[in-house]
Chain A
Amino acid sequence: MFDSEIAQITLLSLQVSAIATLISLLIGLPFGTWLALGDFRGRAFILSIINTGMALPPVVVGLVIAIMLWRSGPLGSLRLIYTPIAIIIAQTIIAAPVVTGLTAAALEALDPRLRQQLLGLGASRGQMVWYLWREARLPLLAALMAGFGSVISEVGASMMVGGNIRGQTRVLTTAIVLETSKGEFGTALALSTLLLVLTYLINLALTWIQQRGRKADWQSAPRK
């Protein structure tokens, strides 16, 4: 495997997983907030579905998306099977429940009177939600990290809907599977190390952002 090919696979892995995580965030943040702050019938049922969704097996997601996008499937005319977009769709379905569920949990962990306090200070609904997100920013960043972690490391869905096509849909995890099946353990190990280092660096950056607030606290004057 050439260096340029590894670079292309790495870049595609990062692009696909970053886009899927971003879309999951755009879905999961408002949906999780609605679930956490809402008071309606069926809320517990929806939460239980979301929590189950957090443990969705990627191969099952891959299978369902493959059936949908298959040439003869209901969405076959879109010609998305074996494209990076198909991988993004599958990864979004994997990450969205994770972000939604952890967002709901993060906001539910806040003191419920904080909502009343913000409204009592004259906050609009939008301002209240913004400041609740701000208060829960540490667990919300953890939700983002968990969402990204769930897709950068998955292989089943990417393999099934992407097809592991060289130069087109091959990502790090599917490349590792392929190299292992060929008995190229050295290459597989090198790719695995690369995946681990990348995941570590991204989480390191997010953790650094997450812990900045706490550090500021430690550096301030001690509690009286």
Chain B
Amino acid sequence: MIEIRKLLIQRNGRDALQIDSLDIKHGETLAVVGPNGAGKSTLLLALARLLKPSDGGVIFNGSQLARLDDLEYRRKISFVFQDPLLLDMTVEQNIALGLKFRKMPKEEIQARVWSWIKHLEIESLAKRRASQLSGGEAQRVSLARAFVLEPELLLLDEPFAALDPPTRAKLLEDLSALLAQDNRTAVFVTHNLNEAAKLSHRIAVIVNGMLRQVGTAKQIKSHPADETVKAFLQELPQ
């Protein structure tokens, strides 16, 4: 579904990310792990076409991303940031936002929004304003807002990093179930290898702006590709 070839992204005059080759299959969840500033979020922004590559590119369903219409492509994907970034409106209106952008009929928006509100068990929050939500509630709404679009590609940038451990565990479980049941293609950025192992089919390790290794959690733990990956794994909380 996604083929990344000789991708180079430069930010502020330096190479922020280099990937020689990386494929993401349809229905696969790829976790991207790496230390702070490694280039993980840069990869997501490039996949969302919010950053333009300096060289190389991304092929999406057989078409060069650079040749696709910007808006048309962005309406096939959905992005969840570390902070929920909800707008100052009700939860229900927030979830409906992406569908409104797509000018979907009102009745259809209502039906889809409520189906996901129920799915994520946030019925009691629907009429509340976003500013009244706790961190966990807001991130749950942010997930609903992304899933309601039924995107071909879901991009998640450390969506649970700012949450307390119990909320994080519960949301991780729910997200894992949603991704499995939906067979949705997703790229999930995280610091946490256990989280990555639980959620994804494969893990990509990025260190210092370079893709170092792709494999299952077991493969990466037992056979780190090089000393850099090994050092990164040793620094992770066990």
Contacts and interface: CB of A to CB of B under 8 A. Distances in A.
Interface of A: 111, 113-114, 116-117, 119-124, 127, 131, 134-135, 213, 216-217, 220-224
B77 A127 contact: no
Interface residues of B, number: 29
A223 B134 contact: yes
B77 A120 contact: yes
A122 B132 contact: no
Contacts of A116: 45, 48, 50, 79, 81
B71 A117 contact: no
B195 interface: no
Given A122-B71, A122-B101, A135 B50 contact: no
A120 B48 contact: yes
Interface SS majority for chain B: mixed
A121 B98 contact: yes
A121 B144 CA distance: 12
Most chain-B CB neighbours within 10 Å: which of A113, A122, A216, A217? A122
Smallest CB-CB A-B distances: 6 pairs: A120-B79, A121-B98, A122-B75, A117-B85, A122-B101, A224-B134
Nearest to B73: A122
A69 to B, nearest CB: 44
Interface string B132-152: 111001000000011001000
B155 interface: yes
B74 interface: yes
A135 B145 CA distance: 18
B98 A113 contact: no
Contact of A217 (B101, B132, B134, B149): B132
Nearest to B148: A121
Contact of A135 (B81, B87, B133): B87
A223 B134 CA distance: 7
A121 B129 contact: no
A119 B52 CA distance: 14
B97 interface: yes
B97 A134 contact: no
Contacts of B200: none
B173 interface: no
Given A122-B101, A224-B134, A213 B149 contact: no
B14 interface: no
